[in-house]
Amino acid sequence: MAQLFPRSANALARSSFLVGAALAAGAGYGLWLVAHSGYVTRQGEIVEQPVPFSHDHHVGQIGIDCRYCHTAVERSPSAGIPPTQTCMNCHNQLWTNAALLEPVRASFATGEPLKWNRVHDLPGFVYFDHSIHVAKGIGCVTCHGRVDKMPLIYQESSLQMWWCLDCHRDPAKYLRPRAAVFDMAYEAPSDQREQGRRLSVEYRIRDAHTLTSCSTCHR
């Protein structure tokens, strides 16, 4: 029987399989990169707001504590958005005629709340409680980054499930004393692992199996 294909066709066939596998792997890796990129996660994205509020100025330069504006953060799932009255506590004396603050003055005069656009926007099927994280010694910076250095706020962390699970599997890496939860400049000690384990026992943090259970975040 005559040979239909030359012997070189065998090598070509094997090479085509290898090239196909490499292309499939490359495509998969490319999709993984896209899924973890800011295009999907919105990391680093500046969200337009009715007033360009600067955390860098108010927190970093003036030294306003997080809880002055986010009053519910220690007792509620939501950190809370400050009412216009909170802004006017200062701005009825400072920058009273600044055009930049006209939306604030209008909101205060009419009673119509400012419509802030959410920056850290979790899906509706994810349950997150600010108060429990604060009570267990997770600092604001751990999730939100150095907001005291952000002229305009943006999402620093991915907020994807793997990012949450990294902490839930081993919270000792991130725990700090409760007194330092709102300290933007707090630096982890050299014995963070040991201190984290002590705090985990002191704060009665549940085991990793419970913390990574689906029902912990998906209710």
Q: 43 in helix, strand or coil?
A: strand
Pairwise CA distance, residues 170 & 200, whole Å: 10
pLDDT value of residue 21? 76
Pairwise CA distance, residues 171 & 197, whole Å: 9
Q: Is the pTM of this model over 0.75?
A: yes
Q: 30, exposed or middle or buried, with CB in 10 Å at 0-12, 13-18, 19+?
A: exposed
Pairwise CA distance, residues 185 & 165, whole Å: 25
pLDDT value of residue 48? 94
- What would the mean pLDDT of 184-195 be, rounded to a whole number? 97
Flag the least confident range among 31-40, 99-108, 151-160, 209-218. Answer: 31-40
- State percent of the chain over pLDDT 70: 89
The domain limits of the chain are 13-41, 55-81+119-217, 82-115
- What would the mean pLDDT of 82-86 be, rounded to a whole number? 97
Q: What is the CA radius of gyration of the chain?
A: 25
pLDDT digits (tens, 9 = 90+) for 104-157: 999 999 999 999 999 999 999 999 999 999 999 999 999 999 999 999 999 999
pLDDT value of residue 219? 87
Pairwise CA distance, residues 133 & 122, whole Å: 16
